[in-house]
Amino acid sequence: MTLLTILFALQQAGIASQYPGDEGIERDPRVLFTENFETGDIKSIGARWGDCGKPQNLRLVEDVAAGSPGRRALKVAFGGLYTHFKGADRVYARYSIKFDAKCGYTHHLPFLLADGEPTTWPKGFAGKKPGGDNFFGSALDAWGDWGTLAPPGKWMLYSYWQEMKPDGRGDYWGNNFKAAQDPIERGRWYTVEMMIKANSTPEAADGEQAFWVDGKLIAEFKGFRWRSTDKLKLNSFWLLHDGHTEDLNKDADHASRVYEVSFDDVVLATEYIGPVQPKSKGAAPAGIAAQYPGDEGIEKDPRVLFVEDFESGDLKEIGARWGEISHAENMDLSADVPADSPGVRSVHIAKNGHLYTHTKGVDTMFARFYVKFHPKTGYIHHFVHLNADRAPTPWPKGAAGLKPAGDQAFTSGIEPWGQWGKAPAPGVWHFYSYWHEMKGGNDGKFWGNFFDPPQQEAIQPGRWYCIEAMLKANSTPETSDGEQTFWVDGKKVGEFKGIRWRTTDQLKVNTFWLLYYITEQSARHNNDTTPDRVYEIWFDDIVLATEYIGPLQGRPKSGKRVATPGRSALHAGPTAAPKAGKLIFAENFENGAGKFKGGEVSDGALSIPPKGTETWGAWSTTVGESTTVKFRLKPLVDLEQVSLLIWSDKLKDNTRYYVTGLKKGEWKTVEFRGVELRTGWALDGPSLDGSVMNNLRIVFEGPPEARVLLDDFEVRE
């Protein structure tokens, strides 16, 4: 018995145990195929498998299993990927899988197949018995057992082969191989593995199949005569999620289900693989910086989003590559750098100033920066922020005192605060956060909510610190599993979990705000009457990434740092804000008012009175990422704002957009995204996102004779 157990344990170690983080596993001679979804887009991933069928049903998501070495997985709404590999008599297929938290009963899941004539898409054997020389295989399905199990049910193998049994009507539907096990939980990652072993000779009924869940063998089934010729080999894998079985499982809640399944870390091999093994067992996360001594080359790491070391360019160039610089007159480049820094310059800010940039949108962002406060610093009002902004602009949008909508924004500042004067200046670190479930103040307004760790040392002015902040969005709109964490000099100090930051996964963390903001309030709130405060600060060695970065480690191999500075995603690169779609309506008023009612045409523009102009049914589109409205306005009088109203049948309300910053007699080009339109006077209601947009009204306040000119109006879908 003991001997058997030991043998079993050895066998169960698997190929993956030799390749922590699956690194290099694809080069193992026993491995037939691997896919981790870390590179390429859906189209190119489809091409390397063979074909992706309906790409609109597949998407890459930044949600992976805890032990997964990457950051992307494939989410399938319906369909999958099919591939062929070198034929073998025994094949193991391992992958990770996660059902949406609201998933119902699914239909078929991945198939491991022997296909006599491999084709781009699987041939249909549904309802038919295959011959022994052309086809056999099994799916590892989730099955609700006629609705007796909560969705999606339990794992079972569903098999087709030459000796399968017919149903009562004489049709051949896959035969079920069930086993005792815990029911499948939704909203969490599993690693599953299935194995099929062909019979050794055409006559021998010694074929097998088995499956494992999270490295535990659940069931083995033996005695199969899968094939009648040993020319027929296991050679195909179909990563599949092809619909739902609410009819078979009598699911009354079908209408509210989300039939989405994610997959990752696929490995096919001729021996047992086992789950992905952690790269550094038990050790604290070393961080990305550990792999790049002196941060040299760190900007090339695919997990890194943005890098700034202030080593190149003047302040103007630095501002340009970030996107925005404010109060550059308060800044200079200083020779004061952190002890471990490979460079010779930091940025020094006196009084107030900021740098503001965007990265591509991610679900988790880590921001590491070095900071030093002046030895005589006072208290700070606001500090460095990580933001998720659905409609990013090159400059920070003012939102103080307002609660953002759950699909609009969430933000968190990693800030020093004085605990109302209890902590010496500049105070202790904490998070200051805005999100849709934040608590309101006594004044009826919404001021950032505090996240304070239980106890910590006060920040010492006059010395460099390495600060890292992490903002992690909730995994599904319903789940309160968002987090935020910060580290001081590589030591975790504050960790906060259970936050529902957002109501849609379209809202991503995409903004970094290096902010140094001092007001008289900061001193007043902390009863600070110290006379000779010096409000100055230094920042350096900033890295933004999707994984933990950690402090600078070691010296650059080349002796000096060679970094390519980052560039704002709003301005450059493939990760810029979504591009406006196809033109679906345009009016330049050269031949009259067209579809606009209200106002009169004058000199090729529409002259609008305060009561406004409107257009109905001139176009119709469902608002999505790329929907954009663009036009030019010129007020002929002084006015504060022009209001745009777009009625939504779906929301049964007007959505709004306000144009401000207009100057009398000057044209202003206005461009905004459909998702920015919101109900509510304060624009705090639902977005027009997903609603039909087929109308527009433009109004403003003023005496009856006041006029605003409108021209070059266009809508893109």
Q: Which is nearer to Ca ion, 34 or 504 (CB)?
A: 34
- The number of beta carbons lying within 10 Å of the beta carbon of residue 546 is 25
What is d(CA 549, CA 369) in angstroms, rounded to the nearest whole number? 10
Q: Is 622 left (phi over 0), alpha (psi -120 to 50) or beta?
A: beta
Place of tokens 């899988």: 97
| Amino acid identity, position 286 | A
Nearer to Ca ion, 19 or 135 (CB): 19
Q: Which is nearer to Ca ion, 465 or 496 (CB)?
A: 465
Nearest 5°: CA angle at 633, between 630 and 634? 165
Residue number, 263 or 619, with CB nearest to Ca ion: 263
Cβ at position 388, least distance to Ca ion in Å: 22
| Closer of 301 and 309 to Ca ion (Cβ) | 309
Distance CA 713, CA 53 (A): 38
Rounded to 10 degrees, the C-alpha dihedral 307/311/312/316 comes to 80
- The residues binding Ca ion (CB under 5 A) are 36-37, 70, 72, 264, 309-310, 343, 345, 540, 588-589, 604, 711
How far, in Å, CA of 32 to CA of 19, rounded?
15
116-131: b or e for each residue (b if 16 or more CB lie within 10 Å)? Answer: bebeeebeebeeebbb
Cβ burial 287-310 (10 Å sphere, 16+ → b, else e): bbbbebbbbbbbbebebbbbbbbb
Looking at beta carbons only, is 113 or 552 nearer to Ca ion?
552
Query: Which DSSP state fits 710?
Result: E
Closest distance between Ca ion and the C-beta of residue 425, in Å? 25
The residues pairing with 224 across neighbouring beta strands, listed in sequence order, are 207
What is the nearest approach in angstroms of Ca ion to the Cβ of residue 689? 28
The amino acid sitting at 213 is V
Q: Report the residue number, 52 or 425, with the smaller CB distance to Ca ion.
A: 52
34: nearest Cα among 269, 340, 194, 303: 269
CB of 658 to Ca ion, least distance (A): 24
Q: How near is the Cβ of 346 to Ca ion at its closest, in Å?
A: 5
Cβ-based nearer residue to Ca ion, 100 or 676: 100
Strand partners, 177: 157
Q: Considering the complex, what minimum distance in angstroms separates the CB of residue 505 from Ca ion?
A: 17
Q: Which of 681, 682, 684, 633 is nearest to 661 (CA)?
A: 633
- Pick from 668, 657, 607: nearest CA to 628: 657
In the bound state with Ca ion, the residue whose beta carbon lies nearer, of 623 and 642, is 642
Residues 6 or more apart whose Cβ sits within 8 Å of residue 6 = none
Min separation Cβ 546 and Ca ion, Å: 12
| Least distance (Å) between residue 632 CB and Ca ion | 9
Minimum distance of Ca ion from residue 704's CB (angstroms): 24
> Smallest gap, in angstroms, from Cβ of residue 617 to Ca ion?
22
Smallest distance, Ca ion to C-beta of residue 94, A: 13
Count of CB atoms situated within 10 Å of the CB of 653: 16
* 550: its two tokens: 């950690």
What does the alpha-carbon distance between residue 599 and residue 483 come to, in Å, rounded to a whole number? 52
Shorter beta-carbon distance to Ca ion: residue 157 or 347: 347
Report the Cα–Cα distance between both ends of the chain, in Å, rounded.
68
CB closer to Ca ion out of 10 and 335: 335
Tell me the closest approach of the beta carbon of residue 409 to Ca ion, in angstroms.
Answer: 28
Cis peptide before 152 (omega within 30 of 0): yes
Q: Let me know: does 237 contact 113? Beta carbons within 8 Å.
A: yes
What minimum distance in Å lies between the beta carbon of 315 and Ca ion? 14
The residue among 48 and 222 lying less far from Ca ion, judged by its C-beta, is: 48
Strands 234-241 and 111-115: antiparallel
Which CB, 115 or 309, lies closer to Ca ion? Answer: 309
Distance CA 595, CA 617 (A): 9
Cα separation, 63 vs 46, whole angstroms: 20
What distance in Å separates the CA atoms of residue 473 and residue 503, rounded to the nearest whole number? 10
Residues 6+ away with beta carbon under 8 Å from 220: 208, 209, 210
